[in-house]
Amino acid sequence: MGELETLQGIASVLEVSCPFEFQDVLIKELAIDSRKVVLPAQSLFFAIKGDRHDGHNFIPQLYENGVRAFVVKVDYLAPGQLDDAFFIRTESPLAALQIVAASKRAQFNYPLIAITGSNGKTIVKEWLYQLLDPSYNIIRSPKSYNSQVGVPLSVWKMNYDNDLAIIEAGISMPGEMVKLERIIRPTIGIFTNLGQAHDENFTDSNQKAREKLDLFQNVETLIYCKDYLIIQEELEQYPFASNPKLFAWSRRSASDLQIGRVEKKDGSTEIQGIYQHNFIKIRIPFSDEASIENAIHCWAALLLLGLDNETIATRMEQLAPVAMRLELKQGVNNCSVINDSYNSDLQSISIALDFLQQQHQHPIRTLILSDILQTGRPDEELYAEVAQIIKDKKVDRLIGIGKHISGQAALFAAETEFFHSTADFLSAYSHDWFYNETILLKGARSFGFEAINSILQHKTHHTVLEIDLGAMVHNLNLIRSLLKPNTKLMAMVKAFGYGSGSFEIANVLQFHHVGYLAVAYADEGIELRKAGISLPIMVISPEEQSFDAMIQYGLEPEIFSVRSLQLLENAIARKGTLDSPLKIHIKLNTGMNRLGFAERELNQLIVRVKNNKQLHVASVFSHLAASENPEEDDFTRKQIALFEKMSSELTAHFQYSITRHICNSFGIIRFPEAQFDMVRLGIGLYGVAPESPVTNRLRNVSTLRTTITQLHELRDGDTIGYGRIEKVVGEMRSATLPIGYADGLNRKNGNRQGYVVINGHRAPIVGNVCMDMCMVDVTGVPCKEGDDVVVFGTELPITEFAKNSETIPYEVLTSVSSRVKRVYYQE
């Protein structure tokens, strides 16, 4: 342990004094997210202020959870109850974090490989780890920790047990890479490629290439592909501080590693090359172009490090896919299963446990964990730290698999069971072992946890709706960036979360500090409460029989008419005096003419609500009828003006603040002047928005996938499906897919009106769509039975699919039936 790992050492680096009683406090963890602190007594929290959140606001909560050391802005006023906390005051906590990490990096002189580029950074990093792990003790960035905060958190993990570091770095703005270079100080660089990501923040691709090259200004060697002409052009002009060796590879011109024949066959690829005048080759178990490029970058790095090609070739054949995401799926016996069974180290365990901790839909959190391999640490020390992490993350049940973790069973306080191998677990497994639990699988590859995942998953047919939670969070933050600083956000999770799952989506939104949730009916809100959702929840369509339950579960009804107000007052009368006034949301009719009080009814409404001390108006709102349609903008502005008038009249009669909101997803983007106090975000969360500068920055969230069940070779005169509508002319190859109108595939897509995407090719849907199946024309499409099929998603946007279905994206999403398994994943 170095001096820097104490508060005294860190304070010294930041040029502040440290009181005697704090000088020897050991710091193992640098933290920036109050929700992800693993070892509170040994954590230093940096209170970073972002666009929407300020870390200083979470200090009391962190103190309550056991954190005592904080880096704050100089003007931060600490609450009085934090007397025994230590505050390092600085102009910029973010800059302080980077300074501390840079000082930590300076302690070590072993090689550090830094990777940047528009695509492939994380894959190259993880593959280098797989390929070099037998030869080195490696520290690497966890997942995609490549930002201004992710890089310092990664570098902090470097220690004297390692002899190689692999760190990835990404930027989105000019000037960022210089800061990262000061932290990382790489000895070897890899520039993967140059693509279009973040183009909007740079004047052109050349500027972006120069900015990325800043990472390598002091490297000893830089690996890159000469075929990216802009990279080559900028390299020739870049003013390196060092005089680095440039290690180039190319498919087109003479290079250090000259790539020759590339032959794909049966899902694998043989890559031939010439290096130092010798013919060499490797084979990788992948055939896509991105994997081929990533593998060549790794090949160049291994050759540079001096590995012989025979060893390289053996390891390349064993490359495993990189799990870029945590998947949440429905499991047996009302369980949810999170599958992260591809690697097992302390960094990835903490990340996976953060995801587990977000899940509140089941009362029990279970971790199935394998031995943690090749750390170089004594078992007792290693598993003592694991036990503490598990305790801090509130895991209820641990199943340990492996001889090493089993040997340290006494260290774990949770309910535990241990098995020496995966085979032992599978032999002992009984179907009733798990019930109503969230189960996290976290295992090193060699333990083959895929077999455990298989038996724990709920068995359904091959059609699934994938929900990318990371993309949803991206969209949430993008919309937040459009809001004024004090504008709150209500997220709509009605209709089973737009078909994506209510509590799964609500968990993510709660974790990311959305202010309010909204559901259509009380039953939806009650299920969220039972799943552990504590956010305020507005019920848009309260029914007469539901008011009693809404009061019981702390749900907040929309009141839209005199009758709905009377029904609520009757329910309150049955309950008697409430512990606190019930919050209500008053709906005004400004032109939608669906629900809401008319202007002439305002006086009566105000009098009744003011006279009922058991009611509290939380918000007043209205609904835009055509905010997506430019041709109706005059009407939309009339609605906004009428809402301003009516809501101002209502709020003026109350002595407390009442939140006002009218904008939906389209309104947020097209009418920023109408944000009022809060906005309601619905379909925009899923990446659907009107044409605007924002549209292309939103990410697709939902992907409906299926597979090819059977292929048919058809002849002239054959017919397909019910009614024999599709008649074959000449020859045709058709594929049958296990998805039909009972799954949510609208029948209007049949008879060549709609299509799916198979291996990058569009295949029209032929004949009538059946209840459980449909058929597509795959003539000329390279495919086989079992291949993946995209019904809608990034390759076929939901807006286009909805147009083919003669409907709107809302209906498409909410029509995906409950028998289609939802798979949630997070990068």
Q: Which residues carry out catalysis? A: 494, 722
Q: Which residues pair with 368 in a beta bridge?
A: 399, 441
Q: At what angle do helices 205-213 and 229-237 cross, to 10 degrees?
A: 60
Q: What is the DSSP-derived secondary structure letter of residue 3?
A: G
Beta-carbon contacts of residue 722 (< 8 Å; ≥ 6 apart): 767, 768, 770
- Comparing CA positions, the residue from 713, 705, 706, 708 lying closest to residue 784 is 708
Return the residue matching tokens 């870029």: 324
CB 327 within 8 A of CB 339: yes
Cα radius of gyration (the chain): 29
Query: Distance of CA 547 to CAs 395, 497, 563, 568, Å?
Result: 36, 22, 13, 6
Class of residue 780 by CB neighbours under 10 A (exposed 0-12, middle 13-18, buried 19+):
exposed
Q: In whole angstroms, what is the distance from residue 205 CA to residue 201 CA?
A: 10
Q: In whole angstroms, what is the distance from residue 218 CA to residue 181 CA?
A: 9
Helices (H), 671-816: 798-804, 809-815
Q: Which two tokens stand for residue 324?
A: 């870029």
CB 226 within 8 A of CB 252: yes
Does residue 152 come out as left (phi exceeding 0), alpha (psi in the -120 to 50 range) or beta?
A: alpha
Q: In whole angstroms, what is the distance from residue 128 CA to residue 122 CA?
A: 10
Phi, psi dihedral angles at 116 (to 5 degrees):
-140, 175
Q: In whole angstroms, what is the distance from residue 585 CA to residue 578 CA?
A: 18
- Comparing CA positions, the residue from 599, 618, 707 lying closest to residue 659 is 618
CB 647 within 8 A of CB 659: no
Return the residue matching tokens 């002047």: 673
CB 435 within 8 A of CB 410: no
Q: In whole angstroms, what is the distance from residue 390 CA to residue 397 CA?
A: 9
Dihedral angle, C-alpha 187, 192, 195, 201, nearest 10 °: -20
Query: Distance of CA 750 to CAs 127, 745, 805, Å?
Result: 43, 9, 9
Q: In whole angstroms, what is the distance from residue 413 CA to residue 397 CA?
A: 9
Phi, psi dihedral angles at 172 (to 5 degrees):
-130, -5
